[in-house]
């Protein structure tokens, strides 16, 4: 719906435009500069078209004047030259110039979705600030970036998650001058193009590190508004011809108005839908000029109400495993949660519903990649389910065959094609057929270099690593090197654990 509405709004604004006063002809150098400018910002269609006829030039100028709400003189007059010299976004004006008197052709519209705009096919996206502008406080920049993403997530179904290292869907980077995006995209020092970004699913926004960035209302370029705008591009939004839009190519100013205009909101909802819970929330732009006064108390107050759906994120769980579709199963008390491969956590479900007869508070669980069955351990007993069916002969007294009572963790270990039970300083390798401990086991946990005793659960992730969990920590185990290669806090550092709410409550500084 955003397309026609955008067009209508642009036309409304056009009608209000006044005819231009007569202007002296521009110097030849100015004309060439204007031509290069219009080329860079996509006013001649495909780049590299060479020189342009006077008619093409006039047409391009009128398109630019339409997008920037100048009188449609088609002449390189003083207001147009002035407008071209203003700081702006370095991303081209693509389709926004096509809105107005001409209806975008079918081919153009196709290009908009296929190549130009594009979208993400998931709702949970990670972002990372790769480096920092030199003279701003890092925690203020981090708050501003978070608020910039929140603008978009508050009005759509998107959810964002900051990661502090490693890969991320969207990366924000500060660069000097030429930075391998092509000469057209080289940064130009203070003024001119302040930043640019790529459409999905490249996930890159670049900022000119030579700008005097600021997070306050006074001097300098407001980094918050520029980040918020560039994030819009990384989500698939193009420049908007609506003057009050955040996605206008000339960055808007913070005022008592909302940062996002209707046009921005409709455009993002057109791609990703409305927010799933509650309605769209917006704050007046002025609020975002005081990041120095923000603190997490103020910010996190209404997040106190922790959602039940991710209750496991804020406490410890009993056991965890994953299945063939990379769904995670997290067990706690008499409930379990399923976290899909997209990182979406289900509401808590009663254990009984999926595994009739299973008691609450299990010690360990493993899903077997060999048989596709779920194994549960509690006390000295074990249960085996094919789907929701408890197999004949279960529950059974597994401790009678040498398995440890109250195992800490169970894991199907692909390397051995066996179940492994961990208990204190030892581990036991168990055959699925006999459910008996294999010869020469138990052995010392030292074989699992770097792994602490007493883990709560483990799973093999689709990245090929085995992850062990204990309290709020995880250990990432390399199956080839047979050693722990990383450790950290699972709720905030492993997006696939589904703890998006936990992350937003994270203390930021
Ligand atoms: C997003 O909505 C929350 C309330 O759910 C609010 O506290 C927060 O300030 C909003 N963020 C922005 C950037 O508008
Ligand atoms: C998340 O899962 C719920 C059901 O558990 C579903 O309604 C919702 O559409 C899912 N959201 C995404 C983004 O996959």
DSSP 98-137: GSSSSPPPHHHHHHIIIIIS---S-SEEEEEE-S--TTS-
* DSSP state string for 159-194: EEEE-SSS--SEEEEEE-S--SS-GGG---SSSSEE
Residue 230 among the catalytic residues = yes
Q: In this structure, how many other beta carbons lie within 10 angstroms of the beta carbon of residue 158?
A: 21
Q: 110-114 — which CB contacts under 8 Å span 24+ positions?
A: 112/238
Ligand 1 atom 14 nearest Cα: 282
* Pairing verdict, β 319-322 and 328-332: antiparallel
| Residue 410 assigned to a binding site | yes
pLDDT at 427: 96
For ligand 1, atom 6, which residue shows the shortest CA distance?
A: 281
What is the per-residue DSSP string for 70-90? -----S--HHHHHHHTS-EES
Q: 344 C-alpha to center of ligand 2: Å?
A: 6
Q: Which one of the ligands is nearest to 345 CA? A: 2
Among the bound ligands, the one closest to the CA of 287: 1
User: Which residue lies with its CA nearest to atom 12 of ligand 1?
Assistant: 151
Residue 169 assigned as binding residue: yes
CA distance 495 to 81: 47
Question: Of 397, 385, 327, 321, which Cα lies nearest the Cα of 352?
Answer: 385
Nearest to 161 by CA among 509, 467, 492, 463: 492
CA distance 448 to 432: 21
**Protein residue closest via CA to atom 11 of ligand 2:** 344
List ligand 2's pocket residues with C-beta within 6 A.
Answer: 123, 342, 344, 346
Counting Cα atoms < 13 Å in the Cβ hemisphere of 505 gives 15
Mean pLDDT per 10-residue section of the chain, whose length is 509 residues? 41 42 69 91 73 89 92 92 94 66 38 60 93 84 93 92 90 94 88 94 94 81 96 95 92 89 90 78 78 52 44 81 95 88 84 91 94 95 96 94 94 94 96 93 95 95 95 93 94 86 42
368 Cα–ligand 2 center, Å: 26
Q: Pick from 63, 27, 28, 16: which is nearest to 44 by CA? A: 63
Q: Is residue 253 reached through a cis peptide bond, with omega within 30 degrees of 0 on the bond before it?
A: no
Q: Which CATH superfamily is domain 308-507 in?
A: Hemopexin-like domain (2.110.10.10)
Q: Could you tell me the distance, in angstroms and rounded to a whole number, from the CA of residue 154 to the centre of ligand 1?
A: 6
Ligand 1 closest atom vs CA 147 = 13
Q: Spelled out in words, what is the top-level CATH class assigned to the domain 116-288?
A: alpha beta
The pLDDT, as a whole number, for residue 503 is 54
Alpha-carbon gap, residue 66 to 50, rounded angstroms = 23
DSSP for residue 407: -
Of the listed ligands, the closest to the CA of 303 is 1
Which atom of ligand 1 lies closest to the CA of 150? 13
Q: Per-domain residue ranges for the chain?
A: 116-288, 308-507
Q: What is the pLDDT of residue 45?
A: 74
Catalytic residue of the set 230, 238, 352, 432: 230
Question: 174, exposed or middle or buried, with CB in 10 Å at 0-12, 13-18, 19+?
Answer: buried
Q: Counting atoms of ligand 2 from 1, which one is nearest the CA of 124?
A: 13
Q: Where do we find the tokens 């759509």?
A: 156
> What does the pLDDT read at residue 136?
81
- At residue 326, the pLDDT reads 93
- pLDDT, residue 414, reads 92
């Amino acid at each position: 719906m955003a397309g026609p509405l955008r067009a209508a709004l642009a036309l409304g604004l056009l009608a209000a435009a006044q005819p231009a006063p007569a202007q002296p002809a521009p110097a030849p150098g100015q004309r060439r500069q204007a031509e290069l400018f219009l080329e860079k910002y996509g006013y001649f269609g495909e780049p590299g078209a060479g020189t342009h006829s006077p008619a093409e030039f006039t047409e391009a100028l009128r398109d630019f004047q339409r997008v920037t709400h100048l009188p449609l003189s088609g002449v390189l007059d003083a207001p147009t030259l002035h407008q071209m010299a203003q700081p702006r976004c370095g991303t081209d004006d693509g389709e926004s110039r096509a809105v107005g008197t001409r209806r975008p052709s079918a081919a153009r519209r196709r290009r908009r979705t296929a190549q130009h705009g594009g979208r993400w096919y998931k709702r949970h996206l990670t972002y990372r600030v790769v480096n920092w502008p030199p003279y701003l406080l890092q925690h203020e920049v981090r708050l501003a970036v978070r608020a910039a993403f929140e603008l978009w997530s508050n009005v759509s179904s998107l959810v964002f998650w900051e990661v502090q290292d490693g890969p991320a869907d969207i990366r924000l980077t500060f660069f000097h001058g030429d930075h391998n995006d092509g000469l057209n995209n080289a940064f130009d020092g203070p003024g001119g193009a302040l930043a640019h970004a790529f459409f999905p699913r490249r996930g890159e926004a670049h900022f000119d590190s030579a700008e005097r960035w600021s997070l306050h209302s006074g001097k300098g370029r407001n980094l918050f508004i520029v980040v918020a705008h560039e994030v819009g591009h990384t989500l698939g939004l193009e420049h908007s011809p609506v003057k009050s839009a955040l996605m206008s190519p000339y960055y808007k100013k913070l005022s008592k108005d909302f940062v996002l205009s209707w046009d921005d909101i409709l455009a993002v909802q057109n791609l990703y839908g409305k927010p799933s819970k509650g309605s769209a929330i917006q704050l007046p732009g002025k609020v975002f000029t005081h990041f120095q006064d923000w603190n997490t108390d103020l910010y996190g107050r209404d997040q106190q109400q922790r959602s039940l759906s991710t209750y496991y994120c804020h406490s410890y769980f009993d056991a965890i495993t994953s299945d063939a579709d990379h769904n995670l199963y997290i067990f706690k008390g008499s409930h379990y949660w399923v976290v899909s491969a997209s990182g979406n956590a289900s509401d808590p479900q009663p254990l009984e519903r999926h595994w009739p007869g299973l008691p609450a508070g299990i010690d360990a669980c493993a899903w077997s990649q060999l048989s596709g069955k779920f194994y549960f351990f509690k006390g000295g007993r074990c249960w085996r389910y094919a789907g929701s069916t408890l197999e004949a002969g279960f529950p059974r007294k597994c401790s009678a065959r040498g398995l440890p009572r109250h195992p800490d963790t169970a894991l199907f270990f692909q390397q051995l094609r066996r179940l492994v039970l961990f208990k204190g300083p030892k581990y036991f390798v168990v055959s699925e057929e006999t459910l008996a401990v294999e010869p020469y086991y138990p052995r010392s946990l030292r074989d699992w270099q770097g792994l602490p005793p007493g883990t709560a659960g483990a799973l093999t992730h689709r990245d090929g690593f085995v992850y062990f969990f204990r309290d709020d920590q995880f250990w990432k185990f390399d199956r080839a090197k047979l050693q722990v290669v990383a450790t950290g806090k699972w709720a905030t550092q492993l997006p696939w654990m589904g703890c998006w709410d936990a992350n937003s409550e994270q203390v930021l500084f």
